Structure 1
Amino acid sequence: MSEHTYKFNVKMTCTGCSGAIDRVLKKTDGVAEYDISLEKQEVLVKGTIPYDDLHAKIAKTGKQILSGETVV
């Protein structure tokens, strides 16, 4: 399976929000690396996980995903 980079704009208001996403991504198979920017309201994820699966994982945190795209 090839590796992709995904970018999600996620509504996060505090470090608790970004921490919830961090905890989920840390234990998700297929995620090679990620960067969560509370300031930019952005989550960048690189890995082999399918887009829809990753979207569902982030959505399960209860945070609102404003948009998402495959970057590479």
Structure 2
Amino acid sequence: MPKHEFEVDMPCTGCSNAVNNVLKKEDVKFEIDQPKNLVWIESDKDAEVLMEMLKKAGKQVKYNGTK
């Protein structure tokens, strides 16, 4: 399963919690590195679909590719 990397604007713990809460509802495996503003999602879903999921947290999102 591919691991997608995203840059997400998360300047505070509350921001990373918002991203965490959104992704918990989506049934995907993920990791968040709040100090580096990075989120990794393991999923067979299209990157655009994953990006839209992340945007539900109200943060700016940039797709960096698969790792």
CA RMSD, 1 decimal: 1.3
* Aligned pairs, number: 67
User: For structure 2, which runs of at least 5 residues remain unmatched after alignment?
Assistant: none
Q: Secondary structure at the match of 1:43?
A: strand
In structure 1, what residue type is equivalent to 2:54? I
Seq. identity, %: 34
Of Structure 1 and Structure 2, which has the larger fraction of its residues in helix?
2
Q: Distance in 2 between matches of 1:7 and 1:42?
A: 7
Equivalent pair of 2:7/2:64 in contact (CA under 8 Å): no
Equivalent pair of 1:4/1:70 in contact (CA under 8 Å): no
Q: TM-score, normalised by structure 1?
A: 0.82
Corresponding residue number in structure 1 for 2:56: 60
The aligned runs of 1:1-72 (5 Å cut-off) are: 3-29=1-27, 31=28, 33-65=29-61, 67-72=62-67
Q: Alpha-carbon deviation of 1:69?
A: 3.0
Q: TM-score, normalised by structure 2?
A: 0.87
User: For structure 1, which runs of at least 5 residues remain unmatched after alignment?
Assistant: none
Larger radius of gyration: 1
Q: Secondary structure at the match of 1:62?
A: coil
